[in-house]
Amino acid sequence: MMKAHTLLPAAIALALMTGVAQGAEPLALRLKPLAFLAGHCYKGTLAGGKDTDEHCFTPAYGGQVLRDVHTVHGPEHPDYVGETTYYWDPEARRIEYLYVENAGGIMRGTVEPGDDVIVFPATRYSVGIQSMTLRVRWTLQGDGYEAWSEVQDTHDKELWATMFRVRMAKSP
């Protein structure tokens, strides 16, 4: 028979892996600018009207990080899925993130929260040996936000083109 002191760590690990009580976790003080996202999903319809973009935000590890599972659903392709982990970097004294996705892409960057806006400054997104520079801005609007993503021109670094602009509404 296993003793209670050997079962407790396993039970805690299982609860963390399965998400038990994660919605109740408060975010760490340094992540408070992102607190409105925690425990909610936001969904929008992309240009063309066929694909939907959904982000679901969950606090994890005692509120020390905010996890964002991002899925693009569409009738003509398999789901595109990515996960962003937002965290406080004490050395840099700012919110940073790591993004990975099912096509092998990766992106690291910083978050600049402001009044009614969250800015993700220009950073590199890479898949294998290919990469591009992106910047993103989320403007808060009522029950959601507008996500505006731009890509930098590869020849003229002063030029930016809109990749997409979508209204993300809180899902019920």
pLDDT tens digits, 27-64 = 999 999 999 999 999 999 998 999 999 999 999 999 99
- Average pLDDT of 126-150? 96
Q: For residue 172, is pLDDT > 90?
A: no
Encoded tokens for 86: 């937002």
pLDDT at res. 24: 52
Mean pLDDT value across the chain = 88
Rounded CA-CA distance 151/155 in Å is 12
Q: By the 8 A CB rule, do 168 and 147 touch? A: yes
- Quote the CA–CA distance of 159 and 100 in Å, as a whole number: 26
**Residue 95 in contact with residue 87, Cβ under 8 Å?**
yes
Strands 130-141 and 144-152, sheet pairing: antiparallel
pLDDT of residue 62: 94
pLDDT value at position 37? 96
pTM: 0.84
**CA 5 – CA 98 distance, rounded (Å):** 35
